[in-house]
Chains A and B, each alone.
Chain A
Amino acid sequence: MIDDSAVYHQSAFLLQNFSKLTVFTIDANTSKLNVINTYESVITIKRYIAVFLFGIIGGGARYLMELLIVAPNGFPFSTLLINIIGCFFFSIMVDYIPKRFALSSTVATGLSAGLIGSFTTFSTFNLDAIKLVVHHQLAFFAIYLFCTIFGSLLMNLTGRKVSRRLLQKLEVF
């Protein structure tokens, strides 16, 4: 059984999907991981409309950036930049914005899964990487892969830290 006092870490976050809020708790006595699904929201048409509308903005911004930023030597700089920026703002959209502005879960899903989810792209990343391999630019391929893998992870962590700081600042005032 999980006692509130025995729980030293309790964070509500979204794993695997956006419709179920999953709370991970660690029992202090047995140090076992407990997974509780707190609620399952109903599939509403509102969420799809929100994701669609925010997805228009995200996808349009991605295409605009790919048109504007063209590196002269064939390095896919635009996709790298898109993915890195997107990963930073994903953490902000999940952690900070819904709490700061007290958004409903519909709008929060639209912002994270819709806006940022359609802004970042995995398929274009793979296509660009394979294009570099086909054109025998193996050094660029290695740089691109390294920058995307570690850059996006780092930016996600930075976003988490920034949103935590911003929320702390909010509590002080």
Chain B
Amino acid sequence: MLIIYVGMASGVGACLRLVCMDVFSHSSFFSKLYFPVVTFLINIVGSLLMGFIFYYLPDTTTNTLISVGVIGGFTTLSTFNDEMILLWKYHKLTCLLYGFLTYLVGLIVVLVMVR
């Protein structure tokens, strides 16, 4: 039964991600940039929250739902990889910067949360 609840929480997370992407795509400033700011921010914020919940909050069912469900559905690796390959064709430097920054900042952000 918990699997279905986690799935529904993931659906909510995926919808939140779509909201962020829609908001950024309708801003005239961010849609001009080649650097995919939305996916970057989504992954970093999601990682930060994940580290916070794991290291600071007790291990309850509600926290599992929020961390594994909502935040796990919110962050995405497949879109990130797809964008990296698209960028590699035309903006090799941006692609390398994007990949490097996402992995580095993502790891640092969780490391900061370790008690």
Contacts and interface: CB of A to CB of B under 8 A. Distances in A.
Interface of A: 13, 15-20, 24, 33, 37, 40, 43, 47-48, 51-64, 66-67, 83, 86-87, 89-91, 94, 109, 112-114, 116-127, 129-130, 133-134, 145, 148-149, 152-153, 156-157, 160
Contacts of B114: 130, 134
A60 B7 contact: yes
Nearest to B48: A123
Interface string B24-48: 1110000100001011000100110
Interface of B: 2-4, 6-15, 17-18, 21-22, 24-26, 31, 36, 38-39, 43, 46-47, 49-51, 54, 67-69, 71-86, 89-90, 99, 102-103, 106-107, 109-111, 114
Lowest 9 A-B CB distances belong to which pairs? Answer: A59-B10, A60-B7, A55-B14, A55-B11, A118-B73, A123-B50, A90-B78, A17-B25, A122-B75
Nearest to B74: A123
A20 B27 CA distance: 12
A54 B67 CA distance: 19
Determine chain B's interface SS by DSSP, over half rule.
helix
Contacts of A15: 36, 83, 86
Given A13-B86, A56-B7, A130 B107 contact: yes
A87 B77 contact: yes
Nearest to A93: B78
28 contacts: A15-B83, A33-B90, A40-B26, A47-B18, A52-B12, A55-B73, A59-B7, A59-B8, A62-B72, A63-B2, A63-B69, A113-B21, A114-B11, A117-B76, A117-B78, A121-B76, A122-B75, A122-B102, A122-B106, A123-B75, A126-B50, A126-B107, A130-B51, A130-B111, A134-B114, A148-B77, A149-B103, A156-B78
A17 B78 contact: no
A15 B26 CA distance: 14
A124 B6 CA distance: 14
A90 B7 contact: no
A60 B17 contact: no
B85 to A, nearest CB: 6
A20 B31 contact: yes
B50 A16 contact: no
A105 B101 CA distance: 31
A19 B110 CA distance: 30
B75 A51 contact: no
Nearest to B12: A52
